Amino acid sequence: MKYVDEFRAPDLARGLARQIAREADTGRDYRLMEFCGGHTHAIFRHGVQNLMPANVQFLHGPGCPVCVLPVRRLDDAIELAERHGVILCTYGDMMRVPGTGRHSLLRAKAAGADIRMVYSTLDALQIARDNPLREVVFLAIGFETTTPPSAAAILTARAERLSNFSIFCNHVLTPPAIAHILRSPDFAPGGAARIDGFLGPSHVSAVIGSRPYEPAAAIFRRPVVIAGFEPLDVMQSVLMLVRQLNEGRFEVENQYTRVVTRDGNRRAQAMVAEVFRHRASFEWRGLGTVADSALALAPEFAACDAERRFALSDKVTREVKSCECPSVLRGVKKPTDCALFGTTCTPDNPIGACMVSSEGACAAYWSYGRSTSAAGARVA
């Protein structure tokens, strides 16, 4: 496969692995957080971890859009489909995430709610055109990568006067999440855990550019390397982080130059700025309430805002207390530290979102790592 296999070449991987082993200082360890679930899965799917020296460790970050959606917002989405009779359009990953009482969109659908799995906002718009007498709501989730398509859908709906289309907006922002993690007591000096540097988001950065990470890198003195999603991208980025740490540099570097620029996609940014406004704060699963970390529709698009269009009830939401998803999402615990992991919580019977999503850390540990520990030793 042209333009993909080149980034999975075994001989280059071996060369990079040797280089990392040579340059990594054996007198210390390197604790690197990959923000994105896409990186977590690339690391596991291609077996990158066991090509790393033992003192280079990956911490898995919160960059899984499905995982960070708080239960309340999922319960709201289920309510939209069940009580307000809308056609709810959602990306497939959301379907099996358990909400309060382990109810899910999939179960609501089985019980008769009209929930449709779509591959893009274009599908949701088409459903709205095909069903002019029904309310169609797109459950919008995700980081800056999925935000421009939502903005484009809103602008299209307005241009076409599609009055039955709205979105339930749960878009969140990456840089505030990184700063929030670094500010948390877990990662303060003497805290429960330590992060030495970040593998920065790849697709998110294609939209926002690498500049927005610069304040966090400078303030918290942690290097960030924007890394592509292919295994060689990840390995080269690890080498760049090791070098920065060895040299005492805390810069934002861009490994993923074939896609990411310092300023990002200005046209997409303009579209997002037109359609969305920052929320004062937003609840993240795992991170709690994070200031200025999410988007809502701008007032002039209120007609397309499902939160304003439908009266959502106050509800009591419950999460399973022993589920460690919140700690896993902060990188404080590994999935295998959770008592539920692999016992009551499996991908077939998930308790927490991290086990459901194709980008969740628990799902990666379960699917790729169960028979071999990260270092290659058997654990199961």
Partner 1 sequence: MSRAASPFPLTGAIEMVHGGGGRAMAELIAGLFRRHLGNPILDKGHDAAVLPAVRGRLAISTDGHVISPLEFPGGDIGALAVHGTLNDIAMAGARPICLSAAFVLEEGLALEELDRIVASLAAAARAAGVPVVTGDTKVVERGKGDGIFITTTAIGEVPDGVEIAPERARPGQAVLLSGNLGDHGVAVLSKRANLDFETDILSDSAALHGMVAAMLAVAPGIAVLRDPTRGGLSAALNEITRAAGVGIVIEEARIPVRPGVAAACELLGLDPLNVANEGKLICVCAEADADRLLGVMREHPLGRDAARIGQVVAEDAPFVRMRTRLGGLRMLDWLSGEQLPRIC
Our measurement of the distance from residue 47's CA atom to the centroid of its chain's CA atoms, rounded to an integer in Å, reads 21
Of residues 279 through 338, those in contact with partner 1 by CB under 8 A are none
Give the nearer residue to partner 1 in terms of CB position, either 4 or 159: 4
Give the nearer residue to partner 1 in terms of CB position, either 250 or 368: 368
Residue from the set 31, 103, 118, 186 that interacts with partner 1 by CB under 8 A: 118
Q: Is 47 in the site for partner 1 (CB under 8 A)?
A: yes
**Cβ neighbours for 5, distance < 8 A, ≥ 6 positions apart:** none
Give the nearer residue to partner 1 in terms of CB position, either 213 or 366: 366
Of residues 203 through 222, those in contact with partner 1 by CB under 8 A are 203
Q: Is 348 in the site for partner 1 (CB under 8 A)?
A: yes
In DSSP notation, 217-229 reads HHHHT--EEE--S
Of residues 55 through 74, those in contact with partner 1 by CB under 8 A are 65
Stretch that binds partner 1, among 138-146, 265-273, 278-286, 330-338 (CB under 8 A): 138-146
Residue from the set 29, 114, 123, 283 that interacts with partner 1 by CB under 8 A: 123
Residue from the set 33, 48, 153, 226 that interacts with partner 1 by CB under 8 A: 48
Distance from first CA to last CA of the chain, Å, rounded? 34
And the tokens for 114?
């009209």
Stretch that binds partner 1, among 44-52, 167-175, 290-298, 299-307 (CB under 8 A): 44-52
Compute the half-sphere exposure of residue 76: CA atoms within 13 Å on the CB side of its CA: 22
Residue with tokens 């718009």: 125
Three-state SS letters, 247-285: HCCCCEEECCCCCCCCCCCHHHHHHHHHHEEECCEEEEC
Q: Which of 228, 332, 327, 193 is nearest to 7 (CA)?
A: 228
Q: Is 37 in the site for partner 1 (CB under 8 A)?
A: yes
Q: Is 107 in the site for partner 1 (CB under 8 A)?
A: no
Size, binding site for partner 1 by CB under 8 A: 51
Helix 231-247 × helix 10-23 angle, to 10°? 20
